[in-house]
Amino acid sequence: MLLKQLSIFLENKPGKLSEVTKVLKDNNINIRSLSMADTSDFGILRLIVPNVENVYKILKEHHFTVKITEVIAVKISDRPGGLNEILNYFSEENINVEYMYAFVNRSGDNAIIVFKVHNIQHAINILVKNNIEIFKYEDINTI
């Protein structure tokens, strides 16, 4: 029930993000989800892609600093309070959300939220107990 995400560390300079996307384009790799966070000196590009281990190798061959991280992706109703419901479950069970990002396929349908949490197995147990749909890595192309 875990997704594997790539975290790519980039200098915060013009063109660095484009270098990553060019490698992905040249290798016919489609990004399913992404998030970018930055500081004044560097950024962290987080990607969910098919064949994560293969993409990891390709990026390493191109001298990027990259690591694989396990995250949870859940499908929630795209309505006011949908996110709050899940965050309340986590809060009640003392699960800390380290970071998250989200996207909507079609407004009014479902939102997909990617969570990085401290105790991932405990978080999964809480989500399952509350009948929250968790994406499996095999379903990545449906994102």
Q: For the chain, which residues make up each domain, given as ranges? A: 3-70, 71-142
Q: How far apart are CA 111 and CA 105, in angstroms?
A: 7
What pLDDT digit, counting tens, does each position of 82-108 carry?
A: 889 999 999 999 999 999 998 776 655
Q: How far apart are CA 2 and CA 125, in angstroms?
A: 12
Is pLDDT of 142 > 90?
A: no
Q: What is the pTM of this model?
A: 0.84
Return the CATH number of the domain spanning residue range 3-70: 3.30.2130.10
What pLDDT digit, counting tens, does each position of 12-52 carry?
A: 888 889 999 999 999 999 998 899 987 778 899 999 998 99
The mean pLDDT value of the chain amounts to: 89
Distances (CA, A) of 132 to 40, 61, 128: 37, 38, 6
Q: How far apart are CA 134 and CA 55, in angstroms?
A: 23
Q: How far apart are CA 140 and CA 62, in angstroms?
A: 24
CATH label, 71-142, candidates 3.30.2130.10, 1.10.3720.10, 3.20.20.10, 3.30.70.20: 3.30.2130.10
